[in-house]
Amino acid sequence: MAPSPVSSLTLRLISALILAPAVLLALWLGRPWFDLLLVLAAGLMAREWADLVGAPRQRFMLIGLAGCLVLLPLLGLGIGWALLTSVAAALAIATLWRHSHRAGWLAAGLLVAGLPCLAAAWLRESAAEGRAILFWSFLVVWATDSGAYAFGRLIGGAKLAPRISPNKTWAGFFGGLVSAMAAGAAIGALAMAAGWVPRGLDLALLALASAGASLVGQAGDLAESALKRRFGAKDSGHIIPGHGGLLDRADSLLAVIPAVALVVGLARLDVMLWP
């Protein structure tokens, strides 16, 4: 028997109340806890990806490679070398399984599972305000998800992309956008008060940046929905009650974290990509 909407919502809330503080605590503590969390996340997502695309025999290979990608910065490699290594590994997978129709999907899975975790590790340790940037990224994405869910349920109305994700509505889309902007401005104000970022931060600009992150995150959410529809799956896994798999829960972050890392890397010309 399918769970009722109330029980499903309860499971989502309980899962969020357990997982969100654990992620934020690991981010606050930094190494080695945040690195261990990222390695675990990369491995779990790689496993779900291999099963989702119909390549369970390659799951352990994908898990190992995704976990190793996240550990590359710990070996003293700059982010540039780590990125090159990840792309080379993906090309190697595509070459080794070139006769399989799953080769491209396996290669993509390594990048989807590994690169966002690699970007998060780099942001936490390399950017001047990396911890604050990641806090902002996580909370803006979660505000988007919560706002979209709440506004979508309360208002309903026209569907956003019925062929990809029948439950998403335009009300949820704009609700997530507004929630992200409000959360981003609030986080900026708190970060200034705590001394995490310099005083004088432009909160209006931060709200606009939060809207941009929300758009990227919702695009990532739709992309994961399209992937599941492509392979006829309702969820990517069953590890998180009320949410499904880790890919289901982290789909927006998988798009937002690399985008934020790219913007930070381009904006900070003093960062040495190739030590």
Torsion of CA 99, 100, 103, 104, to 10 degrees: 90
Tokens matching residue 28: 């606050």
Q: Give me the percent of the chain exceeding a pLDDT of 70.
A: 87
Q: How far apart are the first and last CA of the chain?
A: 57
Q: What is the mean pLDDT of residues 65-69?
A: 82
* 261 vs 258: CA distance, rounded Å: 5
* Between 141 and 275, residue with greater pLDDT: 141
Confidence (pLDDT) at 213 = 96
Sign of CA dihedral 167, 171, 174, 179: negative
Per the omega criterion (within 30 degrees of 0), is the bond before 56 cis?
no
Residue-wise pLDDT for 82-132, tens only, equals 777 778 878 877 777 665 667 788 888 888 998 899 889 888 877 667 888
Residue-wise pLDDT for 140-168, tens only, equals 999 999 999 889 989 988 899 888 888 89
- Rounded to two decimals, the pTM is 0.86
Confidence (pLDDT) at 242 = 62
